[in-house]
Amino acid sequence: MPKLYIGNKNYSSWSMRPWVLLRQAGIAFEEVRVRFDSFEADSEFKRTIGPVSPTGKVPALVDGDLVVWDTLSIAEYLAESYPEKHLWPQDKAARAHARSVCAEMHSGFTALRGACPMNIEAHLPDTGALIWRDQSAVRADVQRLVDMWSGLLAQYGGPMLLGEFSIADAYFAPVCMRLHTYDLPVPAPIKAYVDRVRELPGVKAWIDEALAEKDFLDFEEPYRLRR
């Protein structure tokens, strides 16, 4: 059984992606949660994950003697290991489309990710309004998401981005969390997609466990001093 090392569910957006993918696809795995205490070299987090992953970061998937430590590589490895789960779309063109948007997410949307760190437990609409007012790069990132998601939903007919649930939806699940937490303005069809993602059993399980953590970490909280 593969073993997935993750960070705090409330904060760790990269950990969320493969966890949701595994859970939603019904693939059995062992979860190893490595709590964020700090990211300094002598932190308990680094001492724990360092021997596992060469990057010293989460997530990391361990399958026997193999360690896969990049989120997109984990998704590709799972798709190859469990072909019957159809984690990528079966149609060649749709599969290429899905890979393209996942790669864009992997390397892009830096303004949104930087200004609106994932924080599932928090509700920060006032902060979101200020970010929206003052940060044009965030507005541009959200507009790109709206254009991308609108096009995919129209082309493939929903309810998920490529029709049925795929790696692409797992990849954008943390973005849905950000849009919800900061209440960033998006058109109704995009809000409906966000709500559908949040109701997926795998995503809902992650949200419920994030809410149960009750682990306030000040270095992950740029907008709050306490809960």
Q: Which domains does the chain carry?
A: 3-85 (3.40.30.10), 92-209 (1.20.1050.10)
* Integer angstrom CA distances of residue 172 from 29, 149, 204, 206: 21, 10, 14, 14
pTM to 2 decimal places: 0.97
Query: Tokens 């059993």 — which residue?
Result: 201
Position 214 scores a pLDDT of 95
Confidence band of 225 (pLDDT split at 50, 70, 90): confident
Q: Tell me the helix, strand and coil percentages in the chain, rounded to 5.
A: 55, 5, 35
Q: Is the pLDDT of residue 150 over 90?
A: yes
pLDDT digits (tens, 9 = 90+) for 92-120: 999 999 999 999 999 999 999 999 999 99
Position 168 scores a pLDDT of 98
pLDDT digits (tens, 9 = 90+) for 168-199: 999 999 999 999 999 999 999 999 999 999 99
Q: Which two tokens stand for residue 179?
A: 């849009």
